[in-house]
Each structure stands twice: as structure tokens, then as C-alpha cells.
Amino acid sequence: MGFSLSFQHIVSTRWLPRSCGPSFLLATRYLNQHLRHPSAHRCISSASQPKSPRPFERKRGAKIQHPEGKSCSTCGTQESTHQWYNNPEEKGAKLCDACFRCMKRTRDNLMGKVCLDCESKKSCVWHRHPNDKEASLCERCYQIRKLERAKVLGKTCRDCGTEETRRWHGRSDDKDASLCDHCYRIDKLRREKLAGRTCRQCLTNKTSHWYTRWNDDGTSLCAKCYVFQVEWRTTLTGRKCHECGRDGPRQWLRHPSGGKAYWCYACWQRDYRAKKRAAKLAARLATNEDATHA
């Protein structure tokens, strides 16, 4: 019994090396689950042991195959969410939902669509303007109008009672109730913890955000292990900042020059602050000129 308790203490610690193989981690997870059960500290009996809880599995969207067995002409996949589309550039070719949306977004940006509210020429999704059916509305302005409409209607969060949030979410148990973005994330982490979601690398069940693995095998990574994986992969690819030349930052953003250029978060923030100061200075000069002419 003493050996079991000490071994449980060793397994529950978080000094396990990151280089442990999948087989060792799976064995550790199995022993950790069974040592926590009271029956693990009793003598071996002929009674049947209770079944271990089912591991957490991320819910995937329903995928459908093409009725004629065709694959996507762009990415080659044979499964698509929602539906299949015809490829306008190639007769008889098909496109999955993801490639069709990417092609549509690129085509809409090249066609010269301009947002009527902010005059932006790029958007991940274009919407029809509510005041002018022939005009367009970018995704950012669409979300702003949606939040303003919810504020006018008096929408409040069911948990904290706030009226200010960057996005509203619905509740699965009550369709009429709403949650702010902060309470929604807390509720989501609580539900995933109850469902038994654990990190594939360090086996923890507590994190600020969960990430799914890039190979879509149903397992998850905590925020700490995900950052480590991103740093490791970007180091192997030799990515460097387009401005300062650094090769090891934790967060990357695409450079406005396009292509495969990136810059680190520090350079992006420096450029953002410089643009913000320039905009404030221009507004101040315009105000002084108006006051002088008046």
C-alpha cells in the first residue's frame, strides 16, 4: 500500500520530461487513473473491477462523402463538411467546403468589394449591408452592428449580468439565455474538465485554453504545451522576423508585405503604436487648423 501511494505521488507530479514517448505517457495515464480508485489499494480479489471512464473525445462536424466517390480538386480530401461544390475553373471537378470558402473569399477580395462602413477591401466573410442591398459589409463591421443591436435590445449575460462583450454566445441548456465571451469560456473549460479532457503531453486537466492537435487525431494540448510545440516547429522551419531577424518568439503574425513573411509580436506592437501615435497627431493637427480658421 505504501508503494502504491508513493508511486501515485510520483505519477501525479509534473516533472515528467517532454521527450517521453506516447507509449510511456499512455501507460502513465492508465496507472494514474487506476491508482486513484479505492479498489487499487485493496487486496486482489476475484470480483470484476469497474470500467475506467471513457476518455474525452472532441466532437467533430458531420462530414459527408461525395455520392460519386470524387475528391476535392484542390486539397484531395474525400470528405467535406456541409456539402460539395462545383469547381468553376475546371469542368467536372469538385471542391470541399473549406476550399470553396477560401476560393470565394479570395475571389471577393479580388473583385474590389469595399465595406460601406469602414471602406476596408479585405474580409474573411462578406455580408450584405442592411441599408443598401447592393453594398457590402465586412465581418468586423457586421459584428459591431450585431453587438449594437443586442445592446439596444437589452441583452445581458445570464451569469455575470454584464451588457458589454465582444461576442455573445448561447447556452445549450437554455436557448433564450445568453453568455458573454468571458463567462462562455469559463463555462466551456468547466464542461471540458468534467468530460475528462486532458493534455496529451503533460496529462493536466487545467489550462486557460485547449488546442486540438494539427493531425486531428482527437487529442488535445494545453496552452503551455501548445506554445512549446509552436516554438519547436517554427525553429525547425527556420522562420525569422522580417523586421528584427529574431528566430524564437512565441507569437508570430503575418507581415503586411505578403508572401511567407512574418514578424514577431514585439515588432507588430511597435508598428501598431507608431501608427496610433501618427493618427492621433494628424487628428490634433486637423483640430488646430479648424480652430485657427474659425
If you write DSSP's letter for every residue of 253-283 in order, what string do you get? EE-TT-TT-EEEHHHHHHHHHHHHHHHHHHH
Tell me the backbone φ, ψ of residue 221, rounded to 5 degrees. Answer: -130, 140
CATH number of the domain at 100, please. Answer: 3.30.50
Q: Using one digit for the tens of pLDDT, what is the confidence trace for 96-141?
A: 888 888 888 888 777 788 888 888 888 888 888 888 888 888 888 9
- The domain in which residue 260 lies consists of 238-273
Question: How far apart are the C-alpha atoms of 232 and 226, rounded to whole Å?
Answer: 10
Nearest to 101 by CA among 124, 135, 70, 79: 124
pLDDT at 10: 42
Residues 242, 223 share a domain: no
Do 212 and 243 have their domain in common? no
Residue 263 lies in a domain: yes
Strands, E assignment, 23-147: 63-65, 79-81, 85-86, 94-95, 127-128, 136-137
Q: Is there a domain that residue 46 lies in? A: no
Q: Report d(CA 100, CA 108) in Å as an integer.
A: 12
Number of domains in the chain: 3
Tell me: pLDDT of 35 over 80: no
Flag the least confident range among 46-50, 183-187, 210-214: 46-50
Q: What is the pLDDT of residue 217?
A: 65
| Mean pLDDT for the stretch of residues 141-163 | 87
Residue 215: per-residue pLDDT: 60
Asked whether residue 162 is domain-assigned, the answer is no
Please tell me the distance from the alpha carbon of residue 121 to that of residue 193, in angstroms, as a whole number.
42
Does residue 139 lie within any of the structural domains? no
For residue 99, tell me if it sits in a domain.
Answer: yes
Q: Domain check: are 203 and 245 in the same one?
A: no
Q: How many percent of the chain have pLDDT more than 90?
A: 1
At CB < 8 A and 24+ separation, what contacts does 17-23 make?
A: 18/201, 18/202, 18/225, 18/228
Residues 71, 99, single domain; the answer is: yes
pTM for the model stands at 0.47
- The answer as to whether 282 is a domain residue is no
Query: Helices marked H in the chain — which ranges?
Result: 2-12, 22-35, 97-110, 139-152, 181-194, 223-237, 265-293
With 70 as the cut, is the pLDDT of residue 42 above it?
Answer: no
User: Residues 211, 221: contact at Cβ < 8 Å?
Assistant: yes
Phi, psi angles (nearest 5°) of residue 141: -70, -30
Whole-angstrom distance, CA of residue 44 vs CA of residue 49: 10
149 part of a folded domain: no
Would you call 100 exposed, middle or buried from its count of C-beta atoms within 10 A (0-12, 13-18, 19+)? buried
Bridge partner residues of 3 (DSSP): none
Q: Is residue 14 part of a domain?
A: no
Give the C-alpha separation, 172 to 44, whole Å: 43
Identify residue 53 by its one-letter amino acid code: P
Weakest mean pLDDT among 37-46, 60-69, 126-135? 37-46
Query: Are 100 and 74 contained in the same domain?
Result: yes
Do 66 and 104 belong together in one domain? yes
User: Cβ-count burial of 21 within 10 angstroms (0-12 exposed, 13-18 middle, 19+ buried)?
Assistant: exposed
Q: What does the pLDDT average to over 76-94?
A: 78
